[in-house]
Amino acid sequence: MAHRGIYIEDDDKNIYVVQSLFSQEGFEIVPLPQLPQNIDELYPLILQEDADFLLIDHQLNKKVSYTGYDALQEIRRHDSTIYAVLLTTFKVEDFKEEFGLYDLEVNKAQLNDDDKLSEISEKIHRACVRATDADALANAKESRKFAEDSLKILREIHQKVSKVP
């Protein structure tokens, strides 16, 4: 099963290119149908799309008044665990302080290098697998706790029933 990423981008040409590149790496990239004008409406859209990770363009000023960094800050207010990748045309090193909220910062030119794209894809894939494994472990712990609680209740019932003449 391909990992699913949401691409927050304001340029349709970039969406097509990034979808094509990442699909060759085994990912499904879905753009948001429309960027909301109000940033508070962004996270509910992300939830609807049920993504494993995010690709976020830094400059979204063609369609909205906020940046990709603003978008990520809003998303992080609600979800600190989703893996987020910044895509930018700037030198990433110049913005490390601002971009530190991202898990991975990528200059879009790097996507044209097959080796670099493979490296980026591997990082995203590993992050998605770790998140899936963490969810599975949490579910297993929850199931075990439920089973232990159920067994305790059954033992209590058995003791009470055993005492009935």
Cα of 16 vs its chain's centroid, Å: 20
Q: What is the chain's pLDDT, residue by residue, as a tens digit (165 residues)?
A: 578 999 999 988 899 999 999 999 999 999 988 899 999 999 999 988 888 999 999 889 888 999 998 999 999 999 888 899 988 887 766 666 666 678 888 888 889 888 999 999 999 998 888 754 445 444 445 656 666 666 677 777 777 777 766
pLDDT of residue 53: 93
pLDDT of residue 136: 45
pTM here?
0.73
Give the count of alpha carbons within 13 A of 84, CB side only: 24
pLDDT of residue 153: 78
Question: In the numeric block, which tokens belong to residue 65?
Answer: 């008044």
| Separation of alpha carbons 162 and 165, rounded Å | 8
pLDDT of residue 156: 74
pLDDT of residue 139: 46
| Separation of alpha carbons 159 and 107, rounded Å | 66
Q: What is the SS3 assignment for 89?
A: coil
Beta strands in the chain (DSSP E): 3-8, 27-31, 53-57, 83-88, 104-107
Q: What is the amino acid identity at position 61?
A: N
- Please report, to the nearest 10 degrees, the dihedral formed by the alpha carbons of residues 122, 127, 132, 133 taken in order: 100
